[in-house]
């Protein structure tokens, strides 16, 4: 069920659709990653950094006011309290440590909401590696605080003005950079997308979220949750939370960016509305027109504004192990304000999609015990919220 198989497929999705120049580097990356993850010293050093620098384990917080309002038992897995403010640091630190192990001197990365860029820049500063981050020009404007943080950590931030100027375009440019020097450069991909082994590798580094949550739930509420909820863009935070719960009886629910409507170009709900196709080196559900042209997306959230999704999520949907539903901009913003005013927690707009989805589930079936992945904090979104008149 968890995969991938020997070809890098999760069920019908995945694989490695790349230029010939990248086949060798990707094969060597997979071999090196599997070796490192079995190396006790590598795992010990990474766990030590996660504990003493990142601040793991992140807590499980009971949301009493939301529980009362929704007639449910609501718990939040607090990735917003991890160093740099989101789950992205788990994967960034792991991949940068792997690059260091391989003797790489230069790192490239892409970023949408900026959290992966910040995490990668911080991890590179920690170990002394050069860092270049590609970021869509639209996202550079709407996530300005994170651009400043990346620069303070010493990263070279490159605005991408081609294509849709958001996450998709940033990944395009990062891949072009890597193709030009695959031996000297290490590409730290931030979500569970891209060619094999990246969806698997990102899941492995992010699965610490679910392992912690499963143990914390057993010690606290007891047993397992009725439902585990996460927001889904590319899908790294969701697969990190879901992975440990796949063998359990917990229901898994992912909530995508429903944007402002159901038409192509009005949302980024790939699993709800997409069709299989190839983007950024992997076969997965995509938002495309009848001719197979990838469509531009819309979301108030920069981190969910992507026309594809990780292949493992496609498998979980097709097997029925997880369900994926779209949440509108308006629903997410309402949930963000509710969390702020009732719990004193400012979630990222991405995370607010999970909160909105959980509220919907609680309304449909009161009394559930719910675990919600709070993937990041909302400081980075204050400019967006102010522009919308919400502060």
List b or e across 239-271, with b for residues whose CB sees 16 or more CB atoms inside 10 angstroms.
bbbbbbbbeeebbbbbbbbbbeeeebbbbbbbb
- 191 given a catalytic annotation: no
3-state DSSP call for residue 296?
Answer: coil
Q: Is 110 a catalytic residue?
A: yes
Q: How far apart are CA 125 and CA 128, in angstroms?
A: 5
User: Residue 193 in contact with residue 114, Cβ under 8 Å?
Assistant: no
**Which 3 state secondary structure label does DSSP give 280?**
coil
Tell me if 103 sits within 8 A of 81, measured CB to CB: no
User: What are the angstrom distances between the C-alpha of 318 and each of 275, 322, 358, 359?
Assistant: 12, 8, 21, 24
Task: Say which residues have a Cβ less than 8 Å from residue 257's Cβ, sequence separation at least 6.
Answer: 233, 267, 268, 269, 297, 298, 299, 300, 301, 304, 305, 326, 327, 329, 332, 353
- Rounded to whole angstroms, the Cα distance separating 123 from 126 reads 5
Of how many residues is the chain composed?
391
SS3 content of the chain, % helix, strand, coil (to 5): 50, 20, 30
Residue of 49, 77, 79, 88 with catalytic role:
88
Pairing of strands 282-286, 275-279: antiparallel
Task: State yes or no: is 73 an active-site residue.
Answer: no
Cα 98 from Cα 104, distance rounded (Å) = 9
- Over the range 7-34, which residues count as b (16 or more CB within 10 Å of their CB) and which as e? ebbbbebbbbebeeebeebbeebbeebe
Say which residues have a Cβ less than 8 Å from residue 20's Cβ, sequence separation at least 6.
none
Q: How many CB atoms lie within 10 A of CB 317?
A: 20
Q: Which of 328, 351, 375, 380 is catalytic?
A: 375
Q: Which residue out of 49, 73, 79, 110 is catalytically annotated?
A: 110
Active centre residues (catalytic):
88, 110, 375
């Amino acid at each position: 069920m968890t995969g991938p198989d020997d070809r890098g497929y999760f069920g019908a999705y995945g694989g490695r659709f790349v230029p010939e120049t990248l086949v060798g580097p990707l094969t060597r990356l997979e071999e090196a990653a599997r070796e490192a993850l079995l190396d006790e010293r590598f795992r010990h050093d990474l766990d030590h950094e996660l504990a003493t620098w990142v601040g793991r384990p992140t807590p499980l917080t009971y949301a009493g006011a939301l529980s009362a309002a929704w007639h449910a038992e609501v718990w939040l897995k607090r990735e917003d309290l991890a160093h740099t403010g989101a789950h992205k640091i788990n994967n960034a630190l792991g991949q940068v440590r792997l690059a260091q192990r391989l003797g790489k001197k230069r790192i490239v990365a892409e970023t949408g909401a900026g959290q992966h860029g910040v995490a990668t820049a911080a991890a590179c500063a920690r170990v002394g590696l050069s860092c270049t981050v590609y970021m869509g020009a639209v996202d550079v404007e709407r996530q300005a605080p994170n651009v400043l943080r990346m620069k303070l950590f010493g990263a070279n931030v490159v605005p991408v003005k081609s294509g849709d100027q958001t996450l998709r375009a940033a990944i395009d440019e990062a891949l072009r950079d890597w193709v030009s020097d695959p031996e000297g450069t290490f590409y730290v991909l931030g979500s569970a997308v891209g060619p094999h082994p990246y969806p698997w590798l990102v899941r492995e580094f992010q699965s610490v979220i679910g392992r912690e949550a499963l143990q914390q739930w057993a010690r606290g509420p007891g047993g397992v949750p009725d439902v585990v909820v996460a927001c889904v863009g590319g899908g790294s935070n969701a697969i990190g939370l879901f992975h440990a719960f796949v063998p359990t009886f917990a229901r898994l629910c992912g909530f995508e960016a429903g944007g402002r409507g159901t038409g192509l170009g009005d949302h980024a709900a790939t699993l709800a509305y997409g069709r299989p196709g190839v983007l950024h080196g992997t076969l997965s559900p995509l938002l495309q027109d009848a001719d197979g042209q990838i469509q531009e997306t819309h979301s108030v959230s920069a981190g969910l504004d992507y026309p594809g999704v990780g292949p493992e999520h496609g498998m979980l949907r097709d097997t029925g192990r997880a369900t994926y539903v779209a949440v509108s901009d308006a629903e997410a913003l309402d949930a963000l304000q509710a969390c702020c005013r009732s719990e004193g927690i400012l979630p990222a707009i991405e995370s607010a999609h999970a909160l909105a989805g959980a509220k919907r589930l609680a309304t449909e079936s009161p009394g559930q015990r719910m675990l919600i992945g709070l993937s990041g904090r909302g400081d980075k979104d204050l400019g967006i919220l102010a522009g919308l008149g919400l502060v």
